[in-house]
Amino acid sequence: MEPSELKTQELHINMGPQHPSTHGVLRVELVTDGEIVKRAIPHIGYLHRCFEKHAENIDYMGVMPFVDRMDYVASMNNDQTYAITVEKLLGIEVPKRAEYIRVIMAELNRISSHLLAVGTYGLDIGTFTPFFWCFRDRELILDIFEMASGARLLYNYLWIGGVWMDLTPGIEEKISEFCTYFEPKIAELDTLLSYNPIFIQRTANVGVIPLETALSYGLTGPNLRGSGKKWDLRRDEPYSVYPELDFDVQVGRGEQGTVGDCWDRYIVRVREMRESLKIVRQSLKQIPPGPHRATLRRVQPRAGEAYAKTENPRGELGFYIVSDGSLTPYRIKGKSPCFTSISALDEICRDAMIADVVAIIGSLDIVLGEVDR
């Protein structure tokens, strides 16, 4: 046959929802031309649990366990965002001690979340040992959470007005010991994975998100900072006691490839763990005595609305709550950072290799419980 008579067609490939490298029940429809991806269309909703509708039929405190289950690897952070929003509606002040306890728990949860992200990302790329190392260290944080709340995944510990109970005896020493133990482990992770030549080849110059693209899609958290933007709500729109704490905002600098590539997003998370250790250590030194929760007879805000957002491990999580003056919310809407991240997948994956799609999805660090809600 003459070359002019040959006909080609694009191939549609389904990746997921059971594919091990999709970080949850996500289906990605790939439109490919040979090994080159022309479209990457995410299909979500496999984990939809009607959280926002459920919340209209439960009292304000009863919503908290549902919030836990959105980003189920950062439950403390979810609780903090929701509690701050309801407290805004109530117009109450949280005791200083409770605020410090919240920050300690939120930053430990940030480390544990990033350890899961980094460990599973190494597994996506093809390495095995970092996965075990990260989960070994994450277990120590879960032990601390178990001491504080009795749970290891879904904590329901940060309550409206403060925290469920004060720090248990011996937990401060255990947290301090963890900080001392874990800091050198980050350097070991850098040696084993971050600066591994094979890992760099798989992630540098792959899945580049230019800053303009990141801003236009509304990306936040490490995915935005990986593109070079110094934006962190803890510093730029501070809440709780973060203004009293000193830490640096880590950004991607294109050290191994191009600013905004998969490696930059990965290394931002690794370096943020060091900053979280700084915050936890300062908080342990500065935590004052006092009550662990504001005195509340019942949680029944006056009619009105409130919106609050915090810096979660995966970006800016926000809650918009409308109150009609009753014991149950009239409306709750969650603004998910993972949802905005997955919306940019098609743009990032165009003209990438099929094998690189796995690296790109892993670098976005999405949790489908929060995407679908």
pLDDT single digits (tens) 275-316: 999 999 999 999 999 899 988 888 888 999 999 999 999 999
Residue 233 lies in a domain: yes
Q: Judge if 101 and 18 occupy the same domain.
A: no
**In the prediction, which pLDDT does 103 show?**
94
Note whether 30 and 175 are same-domain residues. Answer: no
* 177 belongs to a structural domain: yes
Please indicate, yes or no, if residue 2 is contained in any of the structural domains.
no
DSSP state, residue 100: H
Check pLDDT > 80 for residue 16.
no
Claim to verify: residue 27 and residue 136 sit in the same structural domain: no
Domain enclosing residue 239, as ranges: 49-340+352-366
Residue 23 sits in the same domain as residue 170: no
345 in a domain, yes or no? no
Looking at the structure, tell me whether residues 200 and 302 fall in a common domain.
Answer: yes
What pTM was estimated for this model as a whole? 0.92
CA angle 60, 65, 71 (to 5 degrees): 120
Q: Is pLDDT at 355 greater than 90 in this prediction?
A: no
Per-residue model confidence (pLDDT) at position 212:
93
268: Cβ contacts below 8 Å, ≥ 6 apart? 222, 225, 226, 250, 251, 252
Number of structural domains found in the chain: 2
143, 87, 294, 247: CA torsion to nearest 10: 50
Q: Is the pLDDT of residue 21 over 60?
A: no
Average pLDDT estimate for 219-236: 92
pLDDT at 318 over 90: yes
Which of 18-22, 102-106, 120-124, 189-193 bottoms out in mean pLDDT, i.e. has the lowest?
18-22
104 and 31 fall within a common domain: no
Task: Look at 14-28, 143-157, 235-249 and tell me which has the smallest mean pLDDT.
Answer: 14-28
- Chain centre distance of CA 21: 18
Residue 241 lies in a domain: yes
At residue 278, the pLDDT reads 95
* Range 363-373 average pLDDT: 88
pLDDT value of position 305: 94
Average pLDDT over residues 332-360: 91
Percent share of the chain, pLDDT over 90: 63
State whether 218 and 232 are in the same domain: yes
Across residues 6-26, what is the average pLDDT?
72
CA terminus-to-terminus distance, the chain: 54
107 pLDDT tier (thresholds 50, 70, 90): very high
What pLDDT, on a 0 to 100 scale, did the predictor assign at position 297? 81
Place of tokens 């191939």: 11
**104 and 241 inside one domain:** yes
Please report the pLDDT score of residue 14 as a whole number.
Answer: 85
Cα–Cα dist 317/307, whole Å: 11
Query: What is the CATH number for 358?
Result: 1.10.645.10
- Answer yes or no: do 221 and 83 share one domain: yes
In sequence order, the 6+-apart residues with CB closer than 8 A to the CB of 20 are: none
Based on the fold, state whether residues 227 and 248 are members of the same structural domain: yes
Q: Is residue 124 one of the residues assigned to a domain? A: yes
d(CA 225, CA 113): 17
Q: List pLDDT tens digits, range 68-89.
A: 888 889 999 999 999 999 999 9
Residue identified by tokens 């805000």 is 301
The whole-number pLDDT of residue 20 equals 52
Q: Which band of pLDDT confidence, cut at 50, 70 and 90, is reported for residue 3? A: low
* Residues 111 and 26 grouped into a single domain: no
Residue 371 lies in a domain: no
CA 44 to CA 26: how far, in whole Å? 6
User: Does residue 346 lie within any of the structural domains?
Assistant: no
Q: What is the mean pLDDT of the chain?
A: 90
Among 19-33, 195-209, 357-371, name the one with the lowest average pLDDT.
19-33
For residue 163 the two structure tokens come to 């925290």
3-state SS, one letter per residue, for 211-245: HHHHHHCCCCCHHHHCCCCCCCHHHHCCCCCHHHC
pLDDT at position 142 is 94
Average pLDDT over residues 118-126: 89
Chain CA centroid to CA 200, Å: 23
Residue 213 tokens read as: 């693209």
pLDDT, residue 15, reads 81
- pLDDT, one tens digit per residue, over 231-272 is 999 999 999 999 999 999 999 998 888 988 999 999 999 999
Q: Which two tokens stand for residue 81?
A: 């965002």
| Residues 22 and 144 placed together within one structural domain of the fold | no
